[in-house]
Amino acid sequence: MNKVSTFWTIILTLGGLYAALALLLFLFQERLIFLPSRPVPFTPEVAGLPYSEHFFPSENGNMLHAWFVFQEGDEDAFNRPAILFCHGNAGNIANRIPLLEIFHGLGYNIFIFDYQGYGKSEGRPGEREILADGLAAFDFMTDELGIAHERILPLGRSMGGPVAAWVAINRNTRALALESTFTNIPDIARKTYPIFPVGLLARVKLPTRDFVKQFDGPVLVAHSPGDMLIPYEMGRILYETAPGTSHWLELAGNHNDGHIATGPAFGQGYQAFINRYFN
């Protein structure tokens, strides 16, 4: 085999591998984005939190699992601001108990649910599915739990950001909170897979930035410059994109430990925002 044919053999082999990897990214991207776990080994009881367990249907009829962590006391306790917590792409609601403990300690009620395919929720996750799940959760809070529409704050962490923003624009909520959230999936993919045309390959978009552009209410954006998963500049872009009043909460630490590394300023930042718009 001469040098020319060897060269073209190498080129064709590399081209074939590139095309095969691109095809895998296109076909199996949901498996790269959505990383659910099924076992729910803990409940809020381990942190001494009062809660009730709920199951409710999403748009396609699949049943979703949720906890409502509430303030004990009189009617005034029930009427305190309620956080609709939309969690990130990995694990399930059992992994968020420390955050539930923080927000409950601040005096708020929290409704946290699992997307389809996560924990005890039926089905499989997908872009349309998790966005619909967020709306179903909000509607369950108002229709079944009796929580006033204007007392609910959608809060999205990481992949939960676009879900919370989708809820905010479709249910016209009073405010929105985004923590450690990306602008959209293609932007993240370009950083992770820079050699591929992810704009063409990405079927899952989750366009947080586009959703935020449509929300006129106040927005809290929290992000850490030390976040190694979702770049800090994406948080700044979301902050600058919001057409209404934007509030910034500077976090410390990495992607999953901001609530710990930031210390008391974490809760204080949320409390200042929530008390301003919900009291």
All domains of the chain in start order, with CATH? 34-278 (3.40.50.1820)
Specify burial of residue 39 (Cβ count, 10 A radius: 0-12, 13-18, 19+).
exposed
Closest by alpha carbon to 211, among 247, 185, 250? 185
Instruction: State the 10-residue block means of pLDDT for the chain, 279 residues long.
Output: 73 78 77 95 97 98 98 86 98 98 97 98 98 98 97 98 98 98 95 81 94 98 98 98 97 97 98 95
pLDDT of 199: 81
Q: What is the pLDDT of residue 22?
A: 65
**What six digits make up the tokens of 127?**
């872009």
Residue 172 gets the label, from left (phi > 0), alpha (psi -120 to 50) or beta, of left
Distance of alpha carbon 133 from alpha carbon 139, whole angstroms: 10
Burial state string for 125-155 with b = 16 or more CB within 10 A and e = fewer than 16: bbbebbbbbbbbbbebbeeebebeeebbbbb
